Amino acid sequence: MCTYVTEKIELDGAGKGGSGWFTLSQGAVYVDHPYHACHEHTVNIDFTNPGEGPSARVAVELTEESALALVEAIQKALASAPPGLASGRR
């Protein structure tokens, strides 16, 4: 079942798409049918910069288990670094 719920966030970073590196400005996370992954539903994450057109997009389709493992890995990586080291507010 698709939830049709999309969590959108503002981003500050960079991603590499088919045309090379681009600045990321937005992200979206939702549970839906994947385009490519071999599962009925996945956690889909889109990293985008709408101002640079449709080619400025990196899409990820993960199983629920993989998405939760990714969240945990991000939290562990941030916890092991000095606070503020990767902050954009420096």
Per-residue model confidence as pLDDT tens digits over 3-30: 879 999 999 999 999 889 999 999 999 9
- Determine the pLDDT at residue 2: 74
Beta-bridge partner residues of 62: 43
Task: Quote the CA–CA distance of 18 and 63 in Å, as a whole number.
Answer: 23
- Determine the pLDDT at residue 90: 63
- Determine the pLDDT at residue 51: 95
Q: Residue 23: CB partners within 8 Å, gap ≥ 6?
A: 13, 14, 49, 52, 56
28-78 pLDDT tens trace = 999 999 999 999 999 999 999 999 999 999 999 999 999 999 999 999 999
Output helix, strand, coil percentages for the chain, rounded to the nearest 5.
20, 40, 35
